[in-house]
Amino acid sequence: MKVVIRCGGSGTRLWPLSRERRPKQFQPLLGQRSLFVMKLADVRPLLRSWNDLYVSTVRQYVPFVRQLAPRVKADHIIAEPIRRNTGPAIALETAVIAAHQRAGSDPVIASLTVDDVFKDSGRLRQVVRRAARFVETVDPSAVVTIGAPVSRPDSGVSYLVLGRVLERTPTVTVGVVTRWIEKPSGPRLSRLVHQPKVAVHTGQYVWRASTVLHTIQAHDRALAGRLSKIQAAIGTRRYATVLARAFRQTRAASVEELVTRRAQRVVGIVAEMGWSDTGKWFLIQELRRQSPRANVIDGTAITLETEDSLVRLPTGKVGVMIGLKGMVVVDTGDALLVCSKDRSEVVKRAVERIRQLGWNRVR
């Protein structure tokens, strides 16, 4: 099995700490280690050797990957020249991995996100291995995705709905995915999360390389043609030029749009693994707090009559927080964020406004 860590996002919802020039996955958000280094530790037991590991990112983040993961082979760092969302990124990683194999080989690939945290990493590895066995022994053409039980309504995540259950144990449910629901809200979300066969879509996939490439060939001939040209250029001086031209010609699309919804069979494996997204400040606070109403403080601060808040200050600055309830305060020296925890998802809109204003220094 080949394992891919996908780490090309910019993490705008965690501004001002996460910036275009140094995004959240390369920063120590949850302790002393970055999310990327934490994911390396999570997946290492899945590898027979470092030759089984690939990293999918964008060109400007390659230096971070090389610094933090020096044992990853240079040609196993797959760098998009420009972002085109998860669909083209996964298409590229699959094409490169397939090109690296000997003729006739069709590797199983586990494509995993860097910014989803699994507190029980051992259980995550068990589920990934189970998914690989399904593809190897039950249905080689299946797309297998990993889901987590719904713990609360969250309009910021997507959900999958299981139909026929193929296997059920006290800890794991395996079933055919019949529907994908993208970031629902309002009454629809409230109804959805109480349905028995609904799970959170965590964004982790296991499949054979041929499943991805054949699905693209059947539904997007133009992209399939570009991937073939990229494969032919691997290892040559033309590679960077061919890759850049191909991505300029490719529209942005999610992997669900490009592959998953078009696949002949999608199977979900749902298990409790202590999953959490890390895409919003309130989630960082919840992952790090020691008790339900506790504060999370990074830096030197005095807190009076303050609870359930996250405060992050730069070295050399002293902060005093009085009367805060469920707030986020992040000061990076050149930028300051103050918002309520339950509105931290709006940070992405603020970053877009910063872009429109041309304040590139703090992007």
What are the residue boundaries of the structural domains of the chain, listed by start? 2-277, 282-362
- Rounded CA gap, 281 and 293, in Å? 15
The tens place of each residue's pLDDT in the chain, 363 residues long, gives: 999 999 999 999 999 999 999 999 999 999 899 999 999 999 999 999 999 999 999 999 999 999 999 999 999 999 999 999 999 999 999 999 999 998 889 999 999 999 999 999 999 999 999 999 999 999 999 999 999 999 888 888 899 999 999 999 999 999 999 998 888 888 888 888 888 899 999 999 999 999 999 999 999 999 999 999 999 999 999 999 999 999 999 999 999 999 999 999 999 999 999 999 999 999 999 999 999 899 999 999 999 999 999 999 999 999 999 999 999 999 999 999 999 998 988 999 999 999 999 999 998
Pick the CATH number of 2-277 from 3.20.20.120, 3.30.70.270, 3.90.550.10, 3.50.50.60: 3.90.550.10
* DSSP per-residue codes, 237-295: TTHHHHHHHHHHTSPP--HHHHTGGGSS-EEEEEE---EEE-SSHHHHHHHH-SSTT--
**3-state class (DSSP) for residue 193:** coil
* DSSP per-residue codes, 139-192: -TT-EEEEEEE--S--TTS-EEEEEEEEEE-SSEEEEEEEEEE-S--HHHHHHH
Model pTM?
Answer: 0.95
Which of 215, 208, 199, 225 is closest to 147 using CA atoms? Answer: 199
Contact 24, 292 (CB under 8 A): no
Contact 256, 143 (CB under 8 A): no
Return the structure tokens found at 320. 């005093």
Residue 337: phi and psi, rounded to 5, are -115, 130
Q: CA-based Rg of the chain, rounded to a whole angstrom?
A: 21
Residue 41: phi and psi, rounded to 5, are -65, -35
- Rounded CA gap, 16 and 335, in Å? 6
Residue at token pair 């009367």: 323
- For residue 344, count other CB atoms closer than 10 A to its CB: 24
